[in-house]
Structure 1
Amino acid sequence: MKTRALNRLSAVLEKHLPEQRLFLKADEGTRFVRLRPGTQALMIAGGALFVGWTVIVTSIFLIDTISAGGARDQAAREQLTYQTRLNALSDERDARAAEARLAQDRFAVAMDQVSDMQSRLLESEQRRREMETAVDVIQTTLRRTMSERDEARARADQLMAELQAETGTIQTAAGRQQDMEQTMTFLAEALEDTASERDNAHLNMAEAHSEVERLQFEAELAAERNERIFTQIEEAVAMSLEPLDNMFRSAGMPTDQIIEQVRRGYSGQGGPLMPITMSSRGQEPDAMSLRANEVLEGLDQVNLYRMAAEQLPFAMPVQSSVRFTSGFGYRRDPINGGRRLHAGTDFAGPVGTPLYAAGDGVVIFAGRQSGYGLMVKIQHPFGIETRYAHMSRLRVSEGQRVSRGDRIGDMGRTGRVTGSHLHYEVRQNGTPINPMNFITAGRDVF
């Protein structure tokens, strides 16, 4: 059965592929090579396999080329979207900064107005007290003068009665008449002076009442102005507090603990917060003073937020145009492959691009470390640490204190890298956290 199948196959091959001879001519003579049907079939099959393999490899290469082009276009579109988002965030940050500056300017103007109103109110109060004192003095003088007038009239009546009892008539000798006339003249002048002083006292009292009414009206106007000023100040303080509080909460920072720690660290410089005005009689401060103290407490909280924000890494470590190449989290390792945790954020740019400290702190390491290359570590308050890796040049040394925006080095490609970029890490008590939480939160304020 097997022999029959082979014979049939040979017959089919001889029919379609008859035996061929390949003649080779040389100096010794002519030779030929016999190409049997099986040999021809093998040659045709091998050629077909080679052509098929070539077609498949070419197709795969073309597909990879097209896919790579699409990936580059997608990356370019993503980069354009990222740059557009960065520009929008930058514009929004500038707008927030402008609003903060306007609020600070309005607050400064309002505080000047409050100081001026308080000075004018104190002057009005002093003048009112002086007028009340003058009115009391005038009333006392008037009562004393009227009492003296009544006593003089009673004395005159008594003298007239004694004279009439002694002589039996009002007519007396020339000496007594002259004394009497002088006495009456003196009494008349005294009464006229008393009446004049009384009239002047009434006029002064009327003027004093008018002045008191005017001062009361000015005090009411001042109170209304102070109400508007305090309202504007309170709104400005609220507008300043809200973005700062949101910034810390967006970064996942405990705001109450941070503010309390900053307050303890600066408690020796300012002393306790005292009221604007205190009563000399030991009484409680008035409502306006209490309200002013609340504004001062709000401003103190804004200042504490500002001091804490300056020490934490809310700023971008790169201020030049860079490309965001890798985020925080698990990713495929670019060198060895496999899924690995990427503990920071990568920003790609040319070698030598300036790198800056993202917040105030102390340099605790500046040198070369395996995998990181040239690296700088900065210790910030509240257990926060930032790392800047793969530098080409270090511009700070260990133990140096730096502030936000100080240049600490240049971008490079030292260590375990595939190209020039900055590997930026943020760690809290040794645990890596996403740096974009701080950067994104800081864009709303700085």
Structure 2
Amino acid sequence: MRSRLTHSIHRFLERRFPEKRLFLRSDTETRFIRLKPETQLVAWTGCILVVAWTIVATAILLMDSIGAGNFRAQAQRDQLTYEQRLNALSAERDARAEEALAAQERFNSALRQISIMQTELLATEEKRRELETGLETVQATLRNAMRAREEARAEVAALSAGEDEETGAAITDEAAGTVNLLASALAETAAERDQIAADAEFAVDHAQELELELRLLQERNDQIFRQLEEAMLVSVEPLDEMFRAAGMNPDNLINQVRRGYSGTGGPLTPLQFSTRGGEPDPDALRANSILTAMDRINLYRIAAEKAPFSIPVKSNFRYTSGFGPRWGRMHNGTDFAGPIGTPIYATADGVVTHAGWSSGYGRLIKIQHDFGIETRYAHLNSMDVQVGQRVSRGERIGAMGNSGRSTGPHLHYEVRVGGTPVNPMIYIRAGQNVF
């Protein structure tokens, strides 16, 4: 059965692949190679497989080449989109910086205007007190004049009655002299009475003028007070919102700054006016309210310099990594990428507590601020401060580098409150509209 099947297959192959002989002739002999159908089938199958493999391999190579070209084009498009996004972010950052500078200028202008208005307010208040004193003097003079006029009228009436009685009696030479003396005194008294009446009339007119001037002065004071109160409101609200946006209680900050304050430009002393046992002067109350607001602004300014509302990099940079989980672990800061040597600045007043190498941080600077806040500046190329040195907001402390566990030149910036890391962008965004 097997031989019959084999024979049938052989006959089928002979019809497709007839037996062939390949002759090889040399100088002395001739040989041939017999190519059976089975051998031809194997050779033909091998050739088909080689050709098919060549076609498939070529197709794969072509597809890979086309796919690689598409991937490169897509990567270029993604890179272009990324660069455009970075440029847009840089432009937005520059615009925010310009807005912050403009806000700072407006804030400084408001402070200057408040100072000028405060000077005018004190001057007008002093003038008002002088006018009140002058008005009281005029009123006292008027009362004295009225009293003297009444006394003069009484004296004239008495003298007239005495003269009538003496006319009916015998007039002696001595009596005549007395009458002449009384007549002279009467004339003088009448002249004095007329003068007192004129003085009284002038005093009344002058008092009315003083009352009008005092009323105008009070209206002007009221206008100045309103402008000052509006300026205080406009100046205090952005600062108050800045601290609240950073999660800081403004009242606690004010109390802490007031307790630890020493130096010039600090808390203002309220105005003290004598009330002579009466109710407090409304203008004095409004002035003290404005001084309280100015005191709050001043304390806000001191507190703002001690909290990290500024940005550590002022040159061109890119945000490369934010606060939060990254690659399976917590990233406790914000990364600012830029060229090596880019200046790094302190974001608030404080004292340097560390300036040296620190494991994965590389060259690291730590600055301790008030309110339990600490800032860290890592991967630096150089450090310009020493431990124990006191620095101010905006003061240069080092240069950007690639030290420690870093994949490229950048600044790793951290903010810690009570030892706990917080997002630095909370403070930076809160201070954008003020600084």
User: Fold-level match, TM-score > 0.5?
Assistant: yes
* SS of match in other structure, 2:278: coil
For 1:288, the equivalent position in structure 2 comes to 283
1:267: how far off?
A: 8.2
- Cα distance in 2, alignment partners of residues 95 and 330 from structure 1: 36
Aligned counterpart for 1:142 among listed residues 144, 149, 159: 149
Aligned counterpart for 1:274 among listed residues 270, 276, 291: 270
Whether the 8 Å CA contact 2:131–2:210 is kept in 1: the answer is yes
CA RMSD of aligned residues (A): 3.4
1:407: how far off?
A: 0.7
* SS of match in other structure, 2:88: helix
Question: In the TM superposition, what are the counterparts of 1:11-90 in structure 2 within 5 Å?
Answer: 36-41=43-48, 43-44=50-51, 46-48=53-55, 50-55=57-62, 57-90=64-97
One-letter code aligned to 1:77? Q
Whether the 8 Å CA contact 1:97–1:445 is kept in 2: the answer is yes
Deviations 1:217-241 (A, max 9, x none): 1111011111111000000000001
1:133 equivalent in alignment to 2:129: no
- Cα distance in 2, alignment partners of residues 13 and 322 from structure 1: 81
For 1:439, the equivalent position in structure 2 comes to 428
- Cα distance in 2, alignment partners of residues 283 and 350 from structure 1: 70
Deviations 1:33-87 (A, max 9, x none): x993454355445545643553454345334322321221121121121012112
One-letter code aligned to 1:436? M
1:216 equivalent in alignment to 2:211: yes
Aligned counterpart for 1:196 among listed residues 191, 196, 213: 191
For 2:98, the equivalent position in structure 1 comes to 91
1:8: how far off?
A: 6.7
Aligned counterpart for 1:260 among listed residues 232, 238, 255: 255
* SS of match in other structure, 1:362: strand
Aligned counterpart for 2:344 among listed residues 339, 355, 360: 355
Query: Larger deviation: 48-57 or 104-113?
Result: 48-57
Provide the aligned length of Structure 1 versus Structure 2.
420
1:373: how far off?
A: 0.5
- Cα distance in 2, alignment partners of residues 142 and 70 from structure 1: 104
- Cα distance in 1, alignment partners of residues 415 and 148 from structure 2: 82
Deviations 1:369-415 (A, max 9, x none): 01110011111111111111111111011111111011100111101
1:190: how far off?
A: 0.6
- Cα distance in 2, alignment partners of residues 113 and 198 from structure 1: 44
For 1:187, the equivalent position in structure 2 comes to 182
Compared with structure 1, are the counterparts of its residues 71 and 272 closer, same or farther at alpha carbon in structure 2 (3 Å cutoff)?
Answer: closer
* SS of match in other structure, 1:275: coil
- Cα distance in 1, alignment partners of residues 267 and 419 from structure 2: 35
1:312: how far off?
A: 0.4
- Cα distance in 1, alignment partners of residues 126 and 14 from structure 2: 121
- Cα distance in 2, alignment partners of residues 197 and 19 from structure 1: 169
* SS of match in other structure, 1:371: helix
* SS of match in other structure, 2:371: helix
Aligned counterpart for 1:251 among listed residues 243, 246, 250: 246
One-letter code aligned to 1:441? A
1:311: how far off?
A: 0.5
Deviations 1:269-310 (A, max 9, x none): 86784334232x243421111111111111111112111111
Whether the 8 Å CA contact 2:149–2:197 is kept in 1: the answer is no
Deviations 1:416-444 (A, max 9, x none): 11111111111111221111111111110
1:118 equivalent in alignment to 2:118: no
1:132: how far off?
A: 1.8
- Cα distance in 2, alignment partners of residues 63 and 9 from structure 1: 53
* SS of match in other structure, 2:397: strand
For 2:28, the equivalent position in structure 1 comes to none
1:10: how far off?
A: 13
1:159: how far off?
A: 5.2
Compared with structure 1, are the counterparts of its residues 53 and 288 closer, same or farther at alpha carbon in structure 2 (3 Å cutoff)?
Answer: same
- Cα distance in 2, alignment partners of residues 414 and 20 from structure 1: 79
- Cα distance in 1, alignment partners of residues 217 and 139 from structure 2: 21
Whether the 8 Å CA contact 1:149–1:190 is kept in 2: the answer is no
- Cα distance in 2, alignment partners of residues 134 and 46 from structure 1: 128
User: What runs of 5+ residues in structure 2 fail to find an aligned partner?
Assistant: 25-32, 34-38
- Cα distance in 2, alignment partners of residues 215 and 13 from structure 1: 142
User: What runs of 5+ residues in structure 1 fail to find an aligned partner?
Assistant: 24-31, 165-169, 332-337
- Cα distance in 1, alignment partners of residues 44 and 138 from structure 2: 139
* SS of match in other structure, 2:367: strand
Whether the 8 Å CA contact 2:267–2:295 is kept in 1: the answer is no
For 1:388, the equivalent position in structure 2 comes to 377
1:101: how far off?
A: 2.9
Aligned counterpart for 1:321 among listed residues 316, 319, 342: 316
One-letter code aligned to 1:294? S
One-letter code aligned to 1:195? A
1:92: how far off?
A: 2.1
One-letter code aligned to 1:319? K
Whether the 8 Å CA contact 2:258–2:267 is kept in 1: the answer is no
Compared with structure 1, are the counterparts of its residues 11 and 229 closer, same or farther at alpha carbon in structure 2 (3 Å cutoff)?
Answer: farther
Deviations 1:338-388 (A, max 9, x none): 333221111111111111000111111111101110011111111111111
- Cα distance in 1, alignment partners of residues 399 and 314 from structure 2: 12
Aligned counterpart for 1:100 among listed residues 99, 102, 107: 107
Compared with structure 1, are the counterparts of its residues 44 and 205 closer, same or farther at alpha carbon in structure 2 (3 Å cutoff)?
Answer: same
Deviations 1:226-266 (A, max 9, x none): 11110000000000011111111222222222222222223
Compared with structure 1, are the counterparts of its residues 131 and 85 closer, same or farther at alpha carbon in structure 2 (3 Å cutoff)?
Answer: same
